[in-house]
Chains A and B, each alone.
Chain A
């Protein structure tokens, strides 16, 4: 059973911010929130992860709700290269990842 729920697809314009939501109502206190993305014919690529506090890195920001039952991946200025399927996953650092169908992000020029 999928532990996370994401919209099937989202569309955004180039150079605009993108907010990708993920619901994970069954998250436990020790579960990390992971985000990966996958381009066609490639393996998944790590984007960001977090536990409780919001996180920033060179690729994106991760905003985690106070109750941790949802999170949002933020791409600050989308480019055409950001078009991919984005997966949200929850689990401990020692656990394997499980992805559902993810969100297909379409970027319009």
Chain B
């Protein structure tokens, strides 16, 4: 069974631009979560989607948004990029929100110049 895939793997943007990252969960997994990982803050939860609905959100500004499609694929968008948004963005899927085990993708490395 294929794992979680994320595209693109690397991205370079400039301040003020916006970016869209994509995640394809493991087949049969309906819950997708997004995380931001930085050396200073560690791994922080952004939001989780289940059945196309956002069910939980971390403490991030409204510039960070996401959505989930009917096939469980998910996208996250960051608008008006800031230098501090440079990070590894990870997507994780699980069968459903009641399951503890999450499966992570390799991440998208975003660099904001």
Contacts and interface: CB of A to CB of B under 8 A. Distances in A.
Contact of A42 (B35, B55, B99, B106): B106
A98 interface: yes
B104 A99 contact: no
Which secondary structure characterizes the binding site on chain A? loop
Interface of B is mostly: strand
B45 A96 contact: yes
Contacts of B101: 46, 49
A99 B41 CA distance: 9
A68 interface: no
Interface in B83-98: 90, 92, 97-98
B90 A43 contact: yes
Contacts of B44: 98
A93 B56 CA distance: 12
A11 interface: no
A101 B38 CA distance: 10
B42 A99 contact: yes
B66 to A, nearest CB: 13
A34 B55 CA distance: 20
Interface residues of B, number: 27
Interface of A: 2, 32, 34, 36, 41-46, 49, 87, 93-102
28 contacts: A2-B42, A34-B100, A36-B104, A42-B106, A43-B90, A43-B106, A43-B107, A44-B43, A44-B104, A45-B104, A49-B101, A87-B42, A87-B43, A93-B98, A93-B99, A93-B100, A94-B56, A94-B97, A94-B98, A96-B35, A96-B47, A96-B56, A97-B35, A97-B45, A97-B92, A98-B43, A99-B43, A100-B42
Given A44-B90, A98-B45, A102-B42, 17 more contacts: A32-B100, A43-B4, A43-B92, A43-B104, A43-B105, A43-B107, A46-B101, A46-B102, A93-B98, A94-B55, A94-B56, A94-B98, A95-B56, A96-B48, A97-B33, A97-B43, A97-B45
